[in-house]
Amino acid sequence: MQVSFVIPLYNCLPLTQAMVASLQASLPAGLAHEIILVDDGSTDGTREWLATLRAPFQVVLNERNLGYAAANNRGAARARGDLLALLNNDLVLSPGWLEPMLAAHRSLGERAGLIGNVQLDAATGEIDHAGIAINLKGKPQHLRALPDSFGHFFTKVYEVDALTGACALLARPLWQQLGGFDEGYVNGCEDVDLCFRARAAGKTNAVALRSRVRHHISSSLNRKRSDEANAYRLTRRWKSELARSAARLWCRHYFASSPLEPSEHGYGFELQIWLYAVGLRRTPPAKALAAMEAAIGLELTRWEAMFGRPATD
């Protein structure tokens, strides 16, 4: 088995050098691998440094700044490994971070989608990412806590709606099947979109809870300036799936804010919501879906006022 590490770069040379050093120092002994560095138009000496590298490095030089999605796609097109490991250049990696991700992918077998991990804010040490969930506005947000007080001691693989592409592992054939990142996104939401496409293909996205890395969060300049446009694109494409993903959270909030009382239909209606909230019912209650679709509709109306109605994607 060979792992292809794909790392897009845009300036931030000191962070890149530290990240690459930590990657090489933390890889399991004997792991067959290649490291593909994709420079996306850096102007800070990154290209001169890249010219000094030799195997196992491969270097891809974009003719101009193409963005995160395109840089990853170009790097992955050069990959020859069985697995792709997508990494940001502002990570700090320690021995033992990769093995749990490999084990999680292996344990899921043919069901494996994207595998992520727990990411700590490099500045504070606090959890910044343990997966991505959909909030009550239908928007993706990082889970910043482990599943529960005790469960993470026994659970090695935790299923999630989506996960960040800052540190993600997936089979290269799956990447090819899905077509890589959608380059219509501008430095945001392309990872969530890819995760949703993996789920639509019947795969399971998961976080390897035993894998920990540190992350200098959003170190790239102007990282978030296209967030609204990216969220708009994601929501137009995945409106129904976003509503379903947030339905359980809606049910939990319903009971947190409302006492258990019989509705005009009796206790059966409340029971459906409770069963789904605690994971004992597989199908989201119609009221939860309707409430989430309404919330998402409000966001779409706001975006349409901001951007206008888009052409069909």
Which secondary structure element, helix H or strand E, spans residue 204, and what is its range? Answer: strand 204-215
At 31-47, the pLDDT tens digits run 999 999 999 999 999 99
Prediction pTM value? 0.93
What is the per-residue pLDDT for 221?
Answer: 57
Inform me whether the pLDDT recorded for 309 exceeds 80: no
Q: What Cα–Cα distance (Å) separates residue 62 from each residue in 8, 65, 70?
A: 10, 7, 9
Q: How confident is the model at residue 75 (pLDDT cuts 50, 70, 90)?
A: very high
Q: Residue 280 class from Cβ within 10 Å (0-12 exposed, 13-18 middle, 19+ buried)?
A: exposed
What is the per-residue pLDDT for 235?
Answer: 98
Tokens of 186: 């501008």
Q: Residue 283 class from Cβ within 10 Å (0-12 exposed, 13-18 middle, 19+ buried)?
A: exposed
The mean of the pLDDT values for the chain is: 93
| Angle between helices 286-307 and 227-257 in degrees, nearest 10 | 150
Inform me whether the pLDDT recorded for 57 exceeds 60: yes
Q: How long is the chain?
A: 313
| CATH number belonging to the domain at 2-215, selected among 3.90.550.10, 3.40.50.2300, 3.30.420.40, 1.10.10.10 | 3.90.550.10
Question: Which region, left, alpha or beta, applies to residue 9 given φ > 0 means left and ψ of -120 to 50 means alpha?
Answer: beta
Could you give the residue range(s) of every CATH 3.90.550.10 domain in the chain? 2-215
What is the per-residue pLDDT for 271?
Answer: 87
Strands 112-121 and 204-215: parallel
Q: What is the DSSP letter of 263?
A: B
242 in helix, strand or coil?
Answer: helix
Share of the chain above pLDDT 70, in %: 91
What is the per-residue pLDDT for 222?
Answer: 59
Using CA of residue 286, residue 292, residue 294, residue 296, what is the dihedral sign?
negative
Q: How confident is the model at residue 225 (pLDDT cuts 50, 70, 90)?
A: confident
At 143-178, the pLDDT tens digits run 999 987 555 555 689 999 999 999 999 999 999 999
> What gap in Å lies between CA 95 and CA 82, rounded to an integer?
22
What is the number of helices (H) and of strands (E) in the chain? Answer: 10, 12
Which secondary structure element, helix H or strand E, spans residue 174, and what is its range? Answer: helix 172-178
Which secondary structure element, helix H or strand E, spans residue 194, and what is its range? Answer: helix 190-200
What is the per-residue pLDDT for 255?
Answer: 82
At 94-144, the pLDDT tens digits run 999 999 999 999 999 999 999 999 999 999 999 999 999 999 999 999 999
- 58-67: burial string, b at 16+ Cβ within 10 Å, e else: bbbbbeeebb
What is the per-residue pLDDT for 41?
Answer: 96
Poorest-pLDDT segment among 57-66, 231-240, 271-280, 296-305: 271-280
What is the per-residue pLDDT for 155?
Answer: 67
Q: How confident is the model at residue 214 (pLDDT cuts 50, 70, 90)?
A: very high
At 250-306, the pLDDT tens digits run 999 998 876 555 555 556 778 889 899 988 999 999 999 999 999 999 999 999 999
What is the per-residue pLDDT for 262?
Answer: 55
What is the per-residue pLDDT for 220?
Answer: 61
Q: How many CA atoms, within 13 angstroms, populate the side-chain half-sphere of residue 311?
A: 1
Inform me whether the pLDDT recorded for 73 exceeds 70: yes
Averaged pLDDT, 190-194: 98
Averaged pLDDT, 2-7: 98
Q: Taking Cα atoms as reference points, which of 277, 73, 89, 108 lies closest to residue 204?
A: 108
Tokens of 264: 């005009």
